[in-house]
Amino acid sequence: MSIQKLATTLEVSVNTVSNILEVLEQAELLIRVMPYGSNSKKVRKPSRYQFMSSAMRSAFLSVAGNEQIFASQKGRLMEDIVAMTLYREFVANSRGALNYDSSKAGADFILTIAGKNIIPIEVGVGEKLGTQVRSTMKKVGSAKYGIVICKNSLTLLEDANVVKVPLDYFLLI
């Protein structure tokens, strides 16, 4: 959802929404994930925000009290967990950058380590084939490896240099 849409929904100004998001980011309740690409793309495309802790999203969903809503948001909860881990391991230590692929068929995250190693990462609840990671690898060009975090067993897709990692294994980091 764009800041403009959020401002309209909440019936407040765009500046107010931007200020609130900035404060939540500074308080480390939210992680801002910018789109991958040139500076002009980063300005044109909206940033995505992930909760720093999946417990925050879970608490908000439990207030809704609807099992269907909670079940439909499991993927977002997993994305929060992965974003938090990548942020703490790489971004907070100034060893990397975390972005997202703004194309529809793109990976959830693009991790850039030390300004040169680019790793597209897809996160999902069910079985994943790795198509989104492959699409982002093709688009970025310099990405040599990709990671899919999902329900699948630990698998290497040798034809594409993509590793499927079960969420349980990822959580051991």
Judge whether 14 lies within some domain. no
Yes or no: say if 143 and 160 are a contact pair by the CB < 8 Å rule: no
pLDDT confidence band for 123 (50 / 70 / 90): very high
The whole-model pTM stands at 0.88
pLDDT of the residue at 120:
97
Structural domains counted in the chain: 1
Asked if residue 19 belongs to a domain, the reply is: no
Average pLDDT (29-44) is 84
Instruction: Pick 129 or 87 by higher pLDDT.
Output: 87
Average pLDDT over residues 2-30: 92
pLDDT tier, 138 (very low <50, low <70, confident <90, very high otherwise): very high
**Does residue 8 fall inside a structural domain?**
no
Q: Is 41's pLDDT higher than 70?
A: no
Per the domain annotation, does 139 fall within a domain?
yes
Query: Which residues form the domain of 51?
Result: 32-170
Average pLDDT, the chain: 89
CATH code for the domain in which residue 159 is found: 3.40.1350
Residue 149: inside a domain: yes
For residue 136, is it within any domain? yes
For residue 1, name the pLDDT band (cuts at 50, 70, 90).
low
pLDDT at 101 over 90: yes
Task: Flag whether pLDDT at 159 surpasses 90.
Answer: no
Asked whether residue 25 is assigned to any structural domain, the reply reads: no
Q: Is residue 11 part of a domain?
A: no
